[in-house]
Copies of this chain bind each other. A is one copy, B any other.
């Protein structure tokens, strides 16, 4: 829509005091984009720029700045600016900022806030990471059952600037317990003299402060909500989580699942690929690569154990990668669909036998297809002069295709069952990564292969 004004230009405009141009640049743009453009300036320059616009926009731009820039900015400024800023920020963003400050900075800033706001910061920063409490905000709008519509609207109008959302309004009783909810839409189309108790919806979806944040995000997604109320252990309304935070959570969880699935460990970095140092990339990947390397060494022992079979029949080694790949592929497939179904709450542990039954039939068909292909390949394209006399091509083809079929069967069912068991044991099923699975399946595959060969061919 417009060209970004770049850092040197911004600096130049600031130096030449071109207040009008800077002001309209800030006012016309989306605060998120503005924050991206100015983030590379010095903290002092950023302050000078955002001080040009009115308080609301200033706070919005500030909230979109990266956390490290925010921390730098509040760590070196005079009191006036900072109090206004801390008072105006969304309560969840503010709590995040405090969580990222040094201890002494926290103390210095807390005293700038009035008592009630101070308590709010302390409360919101006290919840365990990744819980609903840790992501919720406390600047929501409430009404009482006996409030009358026209007065309620007047109240909401007054409070609107300080609330994160006014489109969903929660109804509480005298003890602060959540008893209903009303949307702004419902409010403005209702007759002015009606009571809130008569127009509110009593069956409200909610979550507890101790619930996992992903649970909260999934409820918001499932019921198309704008926000979900969060209550404490006494069912008292403690905060809300809005849909935009839910989207961010789902995005982060998705990256996390994907990384786990691909054997990448550690938390999700909040940085872009190129901004992450290669050492961090290395650290996140090394753990599993090394663990799987060690497991791979076990496989080497197993093959060594069967080395006489290999010596007797070199042709068997030609199909080892194919066998491993087929096991890895079919196992990853079944693990993926089951994992996805578990994530979306389509499956629970007691479905395990239904899952095994379904995967059994799927793998039977897959085994048959692959077995036929490989059988034909061995029969049609093997140089029979290379085969020791005591074996027939037919028996070798039979061994290879039977092993392949058994490997697919075992890999598919193993891949489906493991995530289900992990869920039952309350282990994150995504940790059963596709590479870990493939490596375990490899081991089983080698045992299957050479055992079948020994049994059928007597080697």
- Cβ A374 vs Cβ B263 within 8 A: no
* Copies of this chain in its oligomeric complex: 2
Chain B residues lying within 8 Å of A351, measured Cβ to Cβ, are: 274
Say yes or no: is A125 at the interface (Cβ < 8 Å to chain B). Answer: no
Say yes or no: is A362 at the interface (Cβ < 8 Å to chain B). Answer: yes
Say yes or no: is A166 at the interface (Cβ < 8 Å to chain B). Answer: yes
Say yes or no: is A288 at the interface (Cβ < 8 Å to chain B). Answer: yes
Within 8 A of B (CB), among A343-358: 344, 346-347, 351, 354-355, 358
- Cβ A30 vs Cβ B205 within 8 A: yes
Within 8 A of B (CB), among A337-376: 337-338, 340-341, 344, 346-347, 351, 354-355, 358, 361-362, 365-366, 369-370, 373-374
Partner of A337, one of B203, B273, B386: B273
Chain B residues lying within 8 Å of A261, measured Cβ to Cβ, are: 258, 336
- Cβ A321 vs Cβ B318 within 8 A: no
Chain B residues lying within 8 Å of A394, measured Cβ to Cβ, are: none
Partner of A255, one of B189, B321, B340: B340
- Cβ B325 vs Cβ A263 within 8 A: no
Q: How far is the CB of A104 from chain B (nearest CB, A)?
A: 33
Q: How far is the CB of A319 from chain B (nearest CB, A)?
A: 6
Say yes or no: is A285 at the interface (Cβ < 8 Å to chain B). Answer: yes
Determine which residue in A166, A205, A304, A307 has the highest number of CB atoms from chain B within 10 A of its CB, and name it: A304
Chain B residues lying within 8 Å of A377, measured Cβ to Cβ, are: 297, 300
Interface string of A209-238 (1 = CB under 8 A from B): 000000000001111101000000000000
Q: For the complex, what is the distance from the CA of A262 to the CA of B433, rounded to whole Å?
A: 12
Take A286-B365, A332-B435, A346-B274 as given contacts and tell me if A29 and B167 are in contact as well, using a CB distance cutoff of 8 Å.
no
Interface string of A283-319 (1 = CB under 8 A from B): 0011011101110110111011001001100110111
Partner of A438, one of B288, B314, B325: B325
Partner of A289, one of B264, B290, B370: B370
Chain B residues lying within 8 Å of A248, measured Cβ to Cβ, are: 221
- Cβ A224 vs Cβ B244 within 8 A: yes
Take A251-B221, A273-B346 as given contacts and tell me if A321 and B307 are in contact as well, using a CB distance cutoff of 8 Å.
no
- Cβ A203 vs Cβ B30 within 8 A: yes
Binds B, one of A44-52, A75-83, A153-161, A171-179: A153-161
Chain B residues lying within 8 Å of A358, measured Cβ to Cβ, are: 274, 278, 281
Q: For the complex, what is the distance from the CA of A370 to the CA of B293, rounded to whole Å?
A: 7
Determine which residue in A221, A297, A344 has the highest number of CB atoms from chain B within 10 A of its CB, and name it: A297
Chain B residues lying within 8 Å of A28, measured Cβ to Cβ, are: 202-203
Say yes or no: is A442 at the interface (Cβ < 8 Å to chain B). Answer: yes
Say yes or no: is A184 at the interface (Cβ < 8 Å to chain B). Answer: yes
Take A258-B258, A446-B321 as given contacts and tell me if A296 and B326 are in contact as well, using a CB distance cutoff of 8 Å.
yes
Chain B residues lying within 8 Å of A131, measured Cβ to Cβ, are: none
Q: For the complex, what is the distance from the CA of A343 to the CA of B254, rounded to whole Å?
A: 12
Q: For the complex, what is the distance from the CA of A246 to the CA of B189, rounded to whole Å?
A: 27
Interface string of A121-155 (1 = CB under 8 A from B): 00000000000000000000000000000000100
Partner of A435, one of B184, B247, B328: B328
Chain B residues lying within 8 Å of A362, measured Cβ to Cβ, are: 278, 281-282, 285
Take A273-B337, A346-B273 as given contacts and tell me if A318 and B289 are in contact as well, using a CB distance cutoff of 8 Å.
no
Say yes or no: is A329 at the interface (Cβ < 8 Å to chain B). Answer: yes
Question: Besides A167-B185, A282-B365, A325-B438, 15 other CB < 8 A contacts?
Answer: A29-B203, A30-B205, A156-B188, A160-B189, A226-B226, A278-B361, A290-B369, A292-B329, A300-B319, A307-B314, A317-B317, A325-B435, A328-B435, A328-B438, A332-B434
> Can you give 22 A-B contacts (C-beta < 8 A)?
A30-B205, A30-B223, A32-B223, A243-B244, A263-B332, A263-B333, A272-B346, A274-B354, A285-B330, A292-B329, A297-B322, A297-B377, A299-B325, A307-B315, A320-B320, A321-B321, A321-B442, A324-B324, A328-B435, A329-B435, A329-B439, A332-B435
The 10 closest A-B CB pairs, nearest first, are: A296-B322, A273-B341, A224-B244, A272-B346, A262-B336, A329-B435, A300-B318, A278-B361, A303-B318, A282-B365
